Amino acid sequence: MSSNLVWLSIFVLSVFIGFEVVSKVSTTLHTPLMSGANAIHGIILVGAITVTDHADSNLQLGLGIAAVVLATINMVGGFVVTDRMLEMFKGKPRVKKDVDAVGGDSK
Amino acid sequence: MNTNLYGVLILAVSVCFIMALKGLSSPKSARRGNLIGAAGAFVATDLVFWAPGMTHQHKWWILGAIGFGVVVGVPAARKIQMTQMPQLVALFNGVGGGAAALVAIVEYLKLGSGASTAEVVATVFTVIVGCISFSGSIVTFLKLQEIMTTRPVVFPGGRFVIAGTLLGTLGAAEWVIHSMGNTSLAVMAVLALLFGVLFVLPVGGADVPIVISLLNAFTGLTVAASGYVLQSTLLIVAGTLVGASGTILTRLMAAAMGRSLFGTLFGAFTAKPQAAVEGGEARSVKSGSPDDVAILLNYAQRVVIVPGFGLAVAQAQHTVRELADLLTSKGVDVAYGIHPVAGRMPGHMNVLLAEANVPYEQLVEMDEVNPTFPQTDVVLVVGANDVVNPAAKTTPGCPIYGMPILDVASAGNVIFLKRSMRPGFAGIENELLYDPKTTLLFGDAKDSLTKVVSALKAL
């Protein structure tokens, strides 16, 4: 198999996984999910580090360093802000409505 | 490091990202999912320094740049007000797109004339889409931050200018592929940046979240394409995952808002110019005092609170909760009617109210709350407008036409807490404000609510 075909296979299979994992998601989580996915594409940082490492002119080095800065902001900031959003959902046990009604004061 | 070992570790990181997205799709596992993704990203960033073929000649520059990025990104993410979070996400997405474009440009400069056609095509794709994502996200940021108008910006012949820019970009792409020159690449990048701006300008404020999500998917695809140029499986997998899931998410969001993706992006061009709203004659509205509102609420059996972005801006989440608690203690049945896009993004309002410790059970989604409005005595609309605007049902051609709304008009009384008569984010007049059963209470939402609470206590 030629290497191009390998890349294509990886690409196509990833498309299907991407479709599959988010096909059922409640509206409540749309924003955190978008933000989390946004952080994941910050992995371009790995590419930015690689090209900067191989840079052999000042122009390449400068552009590469700019890419590293931008990618780091994307990745690190993205994960932190997503965590902050999701923190809000934590620690609020979902009391079932009927139990709540029977039990009266649930506090 | 051994190539095989490196490959296996990179595969593990790819699995982390799949698990992260899977986790983020369910409320129980969302936070863990995000942490798994972050761990995977951290490991991958460490690993790349040990990757086969690394020279380490610029190690200190790279480490310094990462340090600088962390110093900028982390405080921004930690200190941002929750109300301003959508624009921060837009900004992070934009810089990611910019980074992908820069990576492709550096690799292109390095490969020089040794690049294969497939690599040049992938580079061209990355630079174009990355630049569109970068400049488009900056415009969405400016719109959400209200630095520029939130209304659709349409100018005469706009669609020809946009089409022309797109054709110019594609022409420049063709030029790059043939000449493999640097000038052509620069021209193409500038045209793509311009196209990104023009493409987002006509999008109305309320539709901006959909565009952010779309640009997010775009950035994912650029990362995948640059992964092909750099021969990195990890970038291909991660980028494609985000591109695919982002596309689905964009469609889900558009569906939640009752919008077609096409209508969102090109609606401003196809919509007929809106008839100027009924001339300039002053129309009477009924405005009330906090005491009137307190009395209405006190004698109600069922009250539904409809929170909007105005509530968040006024930081009135806690006051509204105090009011709800007070009413509940008086035996009034209180619920919050949450429109899917209340706030600035789907699910944004749930985040804001959760921050104020509003019990999860009181948050009722649109489909469940709508049938209960006829049995509801009072609806308290706090800083919301577009999500209750009947124009979405009655006025074909208006920017929000077709968006599902909360049917507050079928309730007994409607109270609007508003700062002014200024129309909402989408910039459309709301007929409901002139309805005889509507009472308006002008002022800052938090201020007004505090007055209502004290009036209610005095009753």
Tell me, yes or no, if B77 comes closer than 8 A to chain A by beta carbon: yes
| Chain B environment of A91 (Cβ under 8 Å) | none
B386 is catalytic: yes
Name the least confident of B44-48, B180-184, B302-306, B312-316.
Answer: B312-316
Across the interface, do A82 and B245 touch by the CB < 8 Å criterion?
Answer: no
Number of domains chain A contains: 1
Tell me, yes or no, if B375 comes closer than 8 A to chain A by beta carbon: no
SS3 of chain B: CCHHHHHHHHHHHHHHHHHHHHHHCCCCCHHHHHHHHHHHHHHHHHHHCCCCCCCCCCHHHHHHHHHHHHHHHHHHHHHCCHHHHHHHHHHHHHHHHHHHHHHHHHHHHHHHHHCCHHHHHHHHHHHHHHHHHHHHHHHHHHHHCCCCCCCCCCCCCHHHHHHHHHHHHHHHHHHHHHHCCHHHHHHHHHHHHHHHHHHHCCCCHHHHHHHHHHHHHHHHHHHHHHHHHCCCHHHHHHHHHHHHHHHHHHHHHHHHCCCCHHHHHHHHHHCCCCCCCCCCCCCCCCECCHHHHHHHHHCCCEEEEEECHHHHHCCCHHHHHHHHHHHHHCCCEEEEEECCCCCCCCCHHHHHHHHCCCCHHHEEEHHHHHHHHHHCCEEEEECCCHHHCCHHHHCCCCCCCCCCCCCHHHCCEEEEEECCCCCCCCCCCCHHHHCCCEEEEECCHHHHHHHHHHHHHHC
- Give the model's confidence band at B417: pLDDT under 50 very low, under 70 low, under 90 confident, else very high: confident
Query: Is residue A21 domain-resident?
Result: no
Q: What is the pLDDT of residues B36-81, one digit of tens each?
A: 999 999 999 999 999 888 888 999 999 999 999 999 999 999 988 8
pLDDT at A3: 83
Rg (CA), chain B: 25
- Give the model's confidence band at A14: pLDDT under 50 very low, under 70 low, under 90 confident, else very high: very high
SS3 of B301-313: CEEEEEECHHHHH
Query: Is residue A85 domain-resident?
Result: yes
Q: Which of B210, B248, B254, B277 is nearest to B402 (CA)?
A: B254
For strands B413-418 and B378-382, give the pairing.
parallel
CB half-sphere exposure, B3, CA atoms < 13 A: 3
Comparing alpha-carbon positions, the chain A residue that sits nearest to B75 is: A77
Report the top-level CATH class of B290-458: alpha beta
With residue A9 as reference, give the H or E element that holds it.
Answer: helix A3-21
Distance CA B77, CA B120 (A): 36
CA distance A46 to chain B (A): 6
pLDDT at B423: 66
ipTM: 0.84
- From the candidates B292, B367, B377, B386, give the one annotated as an active-site residue: B386
Residue A42 belongs to domain spanning: 36-90
Q: Which of B30, B109, B224 sits opposite A32 (nearest CB)?
A: B30
Query: Is residue A6 domain-resident?
Result: no
Residues 344-363 of B with CB under 8 A from A: 345-348, 350-351, 354-355, 357, 359-361
Task: Kindly report the average pLDDT of chain A as a whole number.
Answer: 82
Q: What is the pLDDT of residues B338-366, one digit of tens each?
A: 887 777 777 778 778 877 788 877 888 88
| Chain B environment of A31 (Cβ under 8 Å) | 85-86, 89, 345-348, 351
Task: Kindly report the average pLDDT of chain B as a whole number.
Answer: 86
Q: Which residues contact B21 (CB under 8 A, 6 or more apart)?
A: A18, A21, A22, A33, A36, A37, A40, B33, B37, B241, B245
Q: Which of A25, A45, A53 sits opposite B54 (nearest CB)?
A: A53
A93 pLDDT higher than 60? no
Which tokens in the block code for residue B21? 């997205």
A17 pLDDT higher than 90? yes
Task: Kindly provide the residue ranges of all beta strands, DSSP E only, lying in chain A, ordered along the sequence.
Answer: none
Name the least confident of A78-92, B102-116, B217-231, B372-386.
Answer: A78-92
pLDDT at B88: 92
Q: What is the pLDDT of residues B126-169, one digit of tens each?
A: 999 999 999 999 999 998 888 887 777 777 777 788 889 999 99
Name the least confident of B121-125, B151-155, B307-311, B389-393.
Answer: B151-155
Domain residues of chain B, as ranges? Answer: 80-270, 290-458
- Give the model's confidence band at B279: pLDDT under 50 very low, under 70 low, under 90 confident, else very high: very low
A92 pLDDT higher than 60? no
- Give the model's confidence band at B253: pLDDT under 50 very low, under 70 low, under 90 confident, else very high: confident
